[in-house]
Amino acid sequence: MSGDRGAEIVVRAAAATLQKYANIELLLVGDETQLQALVSSIVGSDPRLKIRHASEVVTMSEPPAEALRKKKDSSMRVALNLVKSGDADACVSAGNTGALMATARFVLKMLPGIDRPAIIAELPAIGGSLHMLDLGANTEGNAEHLFQYALMGSIVAADISGIELPRVALLNIGAEDIKGNDTVKEAAAALNASTLNYVGFIEGNELFSGKADVVVTDGFTGNVALKTMEGTVGLCRHYMRRAFTRGWLAKLQALLAKQVLKSLATEMDSRNYNGATLVGLNAIVIKSHGSADAYAFQHAIDTAVVEVRNQLPAQIRQLLQKETA
């Protein structure tokens, strides 16, 4: 019911998902009257699509504590309760990130041995993709938290990208062992002693180089890095658009390069990487970008499908037990 574009986006994504998967069932949670009207006009009749009524909505600007305490019948809370009860295998939401994190942690609880949930997302990189966390769930973290992020990130990368031994790196201000603060150095020592495929420190200018499959950092740094990436893509598009519209010759060159530019736009399309996982919880929760369109939201659902099939929380639990045994 929330997100920047409202419920119609979710219903259109649901319609596309039902066409893609033969053995999936979807529950749309929110205002029944509004959702039923959208389903009737977009989907029609499909027994695999059901509606669960919720009388309240958490707004995008609402403080997480207020949403958790006062809106117990919000679409977000009802959806997470469905996961807790086993009526759903995963929750996908484009709503208020802070409220989703707080409510999910309260309703679903943390995996044993995990102190805090983290936000992990797949990003494009040379030769494949990159999984990075934490992207904003926690503004601070100690060495143990970074170690836990690395463990969870390794499992997610293996599940989503099919990498047998994901290469894990710590984001730092230099690649040398002497660089960084005490927290990063302590985390590096713990990772060196683990069974994870730890490859050392990585700097910000090498994030997309293909040198690592998983990059670990604290939530403050990760969120700043993510927003900088998004802004850089926008800046590149601005300069390219301006360069190819400067006079008739530039427009002719743009016409000749049309297929190359189209391919580049597809590869840089952030919608193909929409859907961040709230790892560390006892169940699967996927956070879609608030401004996602139907195509992007469907990708978030795809991420949930993969994680349900691979039983992500159980895998994290098993690896954690192995590392702490």
Helix axes 75-85, 97-108, angle to 10 degrees: 30
Sequence ranges of the domains in the chain = 1-114+280-311, 119-273
What pLDDT score does 264 carry?
67
- What does pTM read for this prediction? 0.87
DSSP state of 110: B
According to CATH, the topology of domain 1-114+280-311 is Isopropylmalate Dehydrogenase (3.40.718)
Q: What are the pLDDT digits (tens) for 193-223?
A: 999 999 999 999 999 899 999 999 999 999 8
Assess contact for 161 and 129: CB atoms under 8 A.
yes
Q: What are the pLDDT digits (tens) for 68-82?
A: 999 999 999 999 999
Res. 145 pLDDT band, cuts 50 70 90: very high
Report the Cα–Cα distance between both ends of the chain, in Å, rounded: 43
- CB under 8 Å to 85, separation ≥6 — which residues? none
Query: Residues 181, 197, 161, 268: what is their CA dihedral angle, to the nearest 10 degrees?
Result: 40
What pLDDT score does 254 carry?
73
- CA-CA distance, 123 to 69, in Å (whole number)? 34
What pLDDT score does 303 carry?
93
Q: What are the pLDDT digits (tens) for 15-58?
A: 999 999 999 999 999 999 999 999 999 998 899 999 999 999 99
Identical fold between 1-114+280-311 and 119-273: yes
- CA-CA distance, 66 to 80, in Å (whole number)? 17
Q: In Å, how far from its chain's centre is CA 323? A: 25
CA atoms within 13 A on the CB side of 70: 9
- CA-CA distance, 221 to 145, in Å (whole number)? 14
Which of 29-38, 259-268, 279-288, 293-302 bottoms out in mean pLDDT, i.e. has the lowest? 259-268
What pLDDT score does 3 carry?
83
Residue 124 has pLDDT above 90, yes or no: no
| CATH homologous superfamily of 119-273 | Isopropylmalate Dehydrogenase (3.40.718.10)
Q: What is the CA radius of gyration of the chain?
A: 21
Tokens at residue 313, please?
């929380």
Tokens at residue 127, please?
């030769």
Please tell me which residue, 102 or 237, carries the higher pLDDT value: 102
